[in-house]
Structure 1
Amino acid sequence: MATMEDHVARWFDVQSVPLSHTFPPENRPGKLPFPTCSAIPIINLSNPERLDTIQKIIEAGRNFGFFQVINHGVSESVSTEALNVLKELFNMQDEEISRDAHKNGWAHMGSTSYAIDGIHLWRDNIKHLCHPLEKCVQHWPQMPTRYREVMATYVQEMRRLSFRILEIISEGLGLEKGYFEEISQVQFLSGSNYPACPDPSVTLGVLKHFDHSLITILFQGNVEGLQVLHDDKWIGVGVVPNAFVVNIGTQLEIMSNGKLRSAEHRAVTNSEEDRLSIATFINPSPNCIIEPAKVLINESNPPLYDSFLYNDFIVSSKAFGPLTELVQTKD
């Protein structure tokens, strides 16, 4: 029977989960099937009643830390092409991918190159910086040849969408117009491939974690796999056609003085289909002071968090893994 060791370069035709990818019982995702939650809000950004949209986003950020947006103005073809070119990249040989990553300065973490406490995640992953776009794109994958063009279009759309959502959040919190846009200077992209797994109950695509962003925007294609911890239970985020999943990052939780919350989440695998996803992260500038917005602070609402320099946080926590050094040097 084929095992992972027989397929170091690619995941195809793997028929059993090796010990190197088997998590201990206390960290396993649990019994199948994984539940999907219908309560996570799906918000129509084209709703003519702006106050209603603002209220729904603020409530979703407070209660779940997650929501989905539809009618967001991003063409479905843009997202589909981004997933397609990502699939082409992951279909390349590991040696080709690693050679490109080393040459151009982006991060690749394959099935046997990235481990947590000795256990490997069930995914292939790439990461690269996206802002300022005209400089960063020169360090993106050169193969497939259309990657840079396709993903640049996608990144520009995500940046516009993120500022639109942040402006709604700013208004909902009572902050001045453009409050978040002025400090949001760094963006990076994480593309992941979660191959079909012989036994999803013992593997994880991504460990539970918080995003240390302002917001993160995820396109999860047609296959479920994202789970959110809500009321001490893991719930699945369903796939909605041409929707984007938005989650509140820890930095926005701090700046909102706890009015919005960041939720733990993870990625699980399935036995039927490969899953591709693209996450884009909107982060504060490294030289930004992270603290509760002053307008939200008064005698009855004291600050719940201490102030700190975002760059110090990046360095001390290694928040972005292989990208930490690059992120801290960008402004």
Structure 2
Amino acid sequence: MSEILNLKSYPPVFRQQNTGLDNTTKEIQEVINDDAVPVLDFQCLNLDELGEACKDWGLFRLVNHGIPVTLMSQLRDHARNLLSLTFQSKQELFTSPVSYFWGTPALTPTGASLSIGPHNINWVEGFNAPLSQLSQFHGGNPVLDWFRFLLEEYGRHLARLATTIFGAMAKNLNLDAEKSKSYLSESTGFIRVYRYPQCSRESEAWGMNVHTDSSVLSILNQDQVGGLQVLKDDKWLHVKPIPNSLIFNLGDMMQAMSDDQYTSVKHRVKVNKDEERFSICYFVFPAEGSVIQSSKYKPFTYSDFQSQVQQDVKTLGFKVGLERFKLNVTEAAG
């Protein structure tokens, strides 16, 4: 009975995982299990180690971050319960400012064709919560009010971590202190809660296809199921789940700010045939109107970047990203 109820909570296309799929097993690159991701201690942050991780990896694991374990577990449990509601209930209950998505968070339009096969969408659903707008979120409903409270509390901790870590990065990069103040804005922060449904044909679907984040920083809190993989030296590596640690990864905005010294890391998420996977990610961006100045790229704002990404996805079917803003050799020399 529980399996039937669980299936009703999935978007319809995910319930059809055992029917009408291509029987051809797609080639999957070898993935290395040895997790050598750099580990940094927030309580005694080493600037040299931080710089090396940002240059060589584009991500690192943060421990001793100061977020209460109870808050992290309560948020995961509450999100898991809300995602177990029926598909229809989630569509009706979460509209604004916290919205429900399925498929590809930023790219799949609401109401995407339910006949789409698993090769064409990401095997994921979740909630998108802009932290600056949470005061507008469904007052009077005790369940949703508690969810809002947990998101707000968690968001405050993540903003603290992001601001401190970014300040250390800016120091390492010798960024102009006044200019870099607008390069990361707490008001832009939002949280995405993800559920990756189990999929019996795990060789034919991805929880999240290969991509880079468009953010300055992204901070991931993942459960113990695993599935995150990162590209390092042209090889895919598993990022093992370690309790009470956070994964920081750098986005496109950080790479541009650093003149390509730091890396916007390519990553993807593998689905699991036996278990669902849950994760919670915080994203933060430059302030609205803040112009990113770089020796490698034409001056642009995040809005410019976002508009270009949306246009590319619409016309090409994929994100091009920073390459759209790259200076040519003559421009860079000038």
Question: Could you say whether these structures have the same fold, taking a TM-score greater than 0.5 normalized by the shorter chain as the test?
Answer: yes
Deviation at 1:36, TM superposition (A): 2.6
**Matched residue, 2:78:** 85
Q: Which amino acid in 1 is paired with 2:98?
A: W
**Matched residue, 1:40:** 37
| CA–CA separation in structure 2 for the residues paired with 1:309 and 1:242 | 34
Question: Within the alignment, does 1:184 sit opposite 2:184 as a pair?
Answer: yes
Asked if structure 1 preserves the Cα contact closer than 8 Å seen for 2:35 and 2:237, the reply is no
Query: TM-score normalized by structure 2?
Result: 0.78
Asked if structure 2 preserves the Cα contact closer than 8 Å seen for 1:70 and 1:242, the reply is yes
Deviation at 1:8, TM superposition (A): 5.7
Q: Secondary structure at the match of 2:94?
A: helix
Q: Secondary structure at the match of 1:154?
A: helix
| CA–CA separation in structure 2 for the residues paired with 1:280 and 1:174 | 25
Asked if structure 1 preserves the Cα contact closer than 8 Å seen for 2:40 and 2:63, the reply is yes
Q: Which amino acid in 2 is paired with 1:162?
A: A
Range 120-129 or range 214-223, more displaced = 120-129
| CA–CA separation in structure 2 for the residues paired with 1:117 and 1:289 | 39
* Unmatched runs of 5 consecutive residues or more in structure 2: 104-109, 314-334
Shift in CA distance, 138/36, structure 1 to aligned 2, threshold 3 Å: farther
Shift in CA distance, 215/100, structure 1 to aligned 2, threshold 3 Å: same
Deviation at 1:315, TM superposition (A): 2.0
Q: Percent identity?
A: 22
Deviation at 1:221, TM superposition (A): 1.9
Question: Within the alignment, does 1:171 sit opposite 2:166 as a pair?
Answer: no
Among 63, 66, 87, the alignment partner of 1:73 is: 66
Among 256, 259, 267, the alignment partner of 1:257 is: 259
Residues 246-273 of structure 1: per-residue CA shift (max 9 Å, x gap): 0111111111101101111111111232
Question: Within the alignment, does 1:317 sit opposite 2:314 as a pair?
Answer: no
Question: Within the alignment, does 1:152 sit opposite 2:167 as a pair?
Answer: no
Shift in CA distance, 167/19, structure 1 to aligned 2, threshold 3 Å: farther
Shift in CA distance, 252/110, structure 1 to aligned 2, threshold 3 Å: closer
Residues 189-244 of structure 1: per-residue CA shift (max 9 Å, x gap): 11100122223222100111110111100001222111111122211111122011
**Matched residue, 1:107:** 99
Deviation at 1:291, TM superposition (A): 2.1
Asked if structure 2 preserves the Cα contact closer than 8 Å seen for 1:225 and 1:236, the reply is yes
Shift in CA distance, 140/192, structure 1 to aligned 2, threshold 3 Å: farther
Deviation at 1:277, TM superposition (A): 0.3
Q: Which amino acid in 2 is paired with 1:110?
A: W
| CA–CA separation in structure 2 for the residues paired with 1:16 and 1:175 | 49
Asked if structure 1 preserves the Cα contact closer than 8 Å seen for 2:229 and 2:268, the reply is yes
Query: TM-score normalized by structure 1?
Result: 0.79
